[in-house]
Amino acid sequence: MPIPLYVVDAFTSRPFSGNPAAVCPLEAWLDDATMQAIAAENALSETAFFVRRADGDFDLRWMTPVAEVELCGHATFASGFVLLRLLGERAERVRFHTASGELTVARDGERLAMELPSRPARPFEPPASLVRAIGAPVVEWLRGQYELAVLGSERELRELAPDLACIGDISVTAPGDDCDFVSRFFAPKWGIPEDPVTGSAHCTLVPYWSERLGKPTHFARQVSRRGGELWCEQRGERVVLRGSCALFARGEIAL
């Protein structure tokens, strides 16, 4: 039976920017090997699979081309977009049950709003190999869900060319020139040299910048080659990310 497939650019209002995710609505779970093979064939940073539950919520899983992950923001955002904008879901909010707990995507005017867990970072002493691999002056080293390196300026971040052979996964951030903060994210251990726009990284970026800037709301950019925009809010133990999605393609997987 053919499997529906949507390719959605998340955290952007136009195709060819933001972070592309493949979304596969399923009637029932496929075996893990088949889902991993689909994700590898899609060759995008994430493929999301969801199944409707008896209570009307959804179970959601994410896979990179090489492995299943515990949390993915942009593919959750794209899944919410598929349900609320393309598949006729009438609810104001959809709930996903995941390895990281309950996540939601809700209508927010012309945008969507996603709630993720807040995962604050703490200072840590990086190994010398990581310091060398970054190849730029780092103002602060922290560790939350991922290692976090804070640079002094947006220019330094845009020019950053780390040694990916010596990096597992790391978020790098700096003050923005025309926004509150900018970031980039590198995850070669997951088969993703640089992720275009990383929702899960903002689980740590938002609490960091909320404390540093002394305010709960921010406008942020991820300054990868594709780029993306996020309106962020620290809300207790949750992080709210607002933004847009653009449909790039829809079709079927012939299995």
Q: Show which residues are catalytic.
A: 46
DSSP code string of 44-113: SSEEEEEEE-TTS-EEEEEE-SS-EES--HHHHHHHHHIIIIIS---SSEEEEEETTEEEEEEEETTEEE
Residue 1 token pair: 């039976």
- In whole angstroms, give the CA distance from residue 152 to residue 167: 20
What kind and span of H or E run contains 229? strand 228-235
**Rounded to the nearest 5°, which phi and psi values hold at 141?**
-115, 130
Polymer length in residues for the chain? 255
List helix spans (H) across the chain: 32-42, 73-81, 128-134, 154-159, 202-213
Residue 122's beta-bridge partner residues? 143
User: Could you tell me which of 38, 39, 23, 30 has the C-alpha nearest to residue 83?
Assistant: 23
Residues facing 25 on adjacent strands:
50
Q: Identify which of 156, 122, 128 has the alpha carbon closest to the alpha carbon of residue 141.
A: 122
Instruction: Answer for the pair 73, 89: CB distance below 8 angstroms, yes or no.
Output: no
Coil, helix or strand at residue 39: helix
